[in-house]
A and B are shown apart, each in its own frame.
Chain A
Amino acid sequence: MTTSTKVLRYQLRDVLRSRVIASYGGFFLLSTLALVQLGGGLERALPSLANLTLLAVPLVSLLVTVVFLSHGRAFTEVLLSQPVGRGELLLGLYLGLAVPLVGLFVAGTGIPLLVSGGPAGLLGPSLLLLVAGSMLTATFTALGFAVAYTFDDAAKSLAAALGLWLGLTVLYDGAVLLASQQLAAYPLEKPMLAAMVLNPVDLARVVMLMAVDASVLLGYTGAVFQDFFGGIWGITIALTSLGIWVAVPYLVALRRFRRMDL
């Protein structure tokens, strides 16, 4: 067993015993159940659920990671004073957070969805929602690591995390819309595509909603994207870009972690 999996194993135990994390799964379980049962069927629940996921997953993943890392700094110190390399340790720490967060999201959203989604013929869209939500979790956990290792103190990294969330979920779309209005006279498809790839939340939104026919909720960049690619191609491209969005912040975090003084 590698050092990373050893670290992962013990950290999983620690993380899963924390109530904050467990209630994250509970939150998705309850809201999915409520949306499916009370919202008039799965077909109408899926878009709302997608929107909820797009807001809650980035926020919780970022905050949990930043808070956990600021508490866990001294523990990182203990592990690094063992014969453990920094790269292996970071991988263990990262998976130790990303795996339970993804797991709780998938369980909380997936169980009620799949139970009611199978028969209704919406298995595909349900699965895509889960996949995109998981990728989003992985991305924002990695972003949380990058933020936490960039700022030394907990308050600063918390503020930066909140700013990042607000920027990527709310402000970004507004800014894009504003820009598109101002520049309405120009051909904007290509810049809009670029704008979408530069925001993981936009990417996840496209994956989640392209499968459901809910173009209204796609947002400006998403609508352009659907026009441009559509179907399987679009989903593949969006998921690949999301994968890059996991890797890049992780590598930034790794770079900082290797040089960090504890």
Chain B
Amino acid sequence: MTDVRPLRDLGEHPVWIRMVGISKRFGPRRVLSDVDVCFRPGRITAVLGPNGAGKTTLLKMILGLVRPDSGAITVGETPVGADPEYRKDLGYMPQLPRFPQHLTGRELAAMLDDVRGFDDEPDGSLIEAFGLEGELDKPFRTLSGGTRQKLNAALALRYGAGVIVLDEPTAGLDPVASRVLKERVRREKERGCTVLLTSHDLAQLQEVADDVVFLLDGSVRFEGEITDLLAATGQPDLEGAIAWLILAETPSDPAGTGGTPCGPSIAPGGEVAR
């Protein structure tokens, strides 16, 4: 990627995200139970877990889209709740980009600039890097899935936010665009940004992420650096480590190896002993 324009440095004002005692039910289904987790600035944290583990719910809570039944969330100094102003420092790329069908990319960008009351020059470098310029005047409904996803990413990273939340960012992107985005996310991290992301592509995550939060059945089973996770589970890669964690949960003989798996054990609380 040739784009080397500097991004806004967060310097003295990195944003921590703290979630304490978070529980949430959707009807009879318990999605999160008593989750405590912390996201650090200047790091890329991957939120992992099988389908329905509560990943998207967790991310949406940070944005205030889903309200926890109990517990507290703070983004920087601000408790998430009544005042929406803290979201000025948040960039969110949702899983399925569905913007107003009849608006063009340019209008969508203008709308978000406007709604955010963003006075600086917004960062259009990702639009350039994706080669989106030619697509900006077509109505959203005519864009292909990949183009929509690129636009989605470009809009999320447009405001130099202190926190960036990416839900399945590379789904539907071609390898070139995927690389552009990965490169960009790394640069966001270097400027001190708190980056959260989910993905099903574990190999790719291992490449990009520093920390892992692993959710299973609504609670956090591992929180820490990827290297620690690999060491703790004795696995060569993230995929193996996650599989190990899931199997270690099931009471029956994990992976048919007989007895407890070698390496570190899972404490009753679900924490990996280190």
Contact = CB atoms under 8 A, between A and B. Distances in A.
Nearest to B64: A80
A72 interface: yes
A6 B108 CA distance: 12
A73 B65 CA distance: 12
Interface string A50-77: 0000000000000000000001111101
Most buried by A among B63, B85, B111: B111
Interface in A146-161: none
A79 B26 CA distance: 23
- Interface of A, helix, strand, loop or mixed by DSSP: helix
Interface string B108-120: 0001101111000
Nearest to A15: B102
Nearest to A74: B98
Interface residues of B, number: 31
A74 B101 CA distance: 11
Contacts of A75: 98-100
B138 interface: no
Contacts, number: 80
Contact of A6 (B85, B98, B107, B115): B115
B115 A74 contact: no
Contacts of A6: 111, 114-115
B90 interface: yes
Interface in A247-262: 259, 261-262
Interface in A1-19: 3, 6-7, 9-11, 13-15, 17-18
A261 B66 contact: yes
Contacts of B16: none
Contacts of B255: none
Interface of A: 3, 6-7, 9-11, 13-15, 17-18, 71-75, 77-85, 259, 261-262
22 contacts: A6-B111, A7-B115, A11-B100, A13-B107, A71-B98, A73-B98, A74-B96, A77-B65, A78-B92, A78-B97, A81-B65, A81-B90, A81-B94, A82-B115, A82-B116, A83-B87, A83-B88, A84-B115, A85-B84, A259-B67, A261-B60, A262-B66
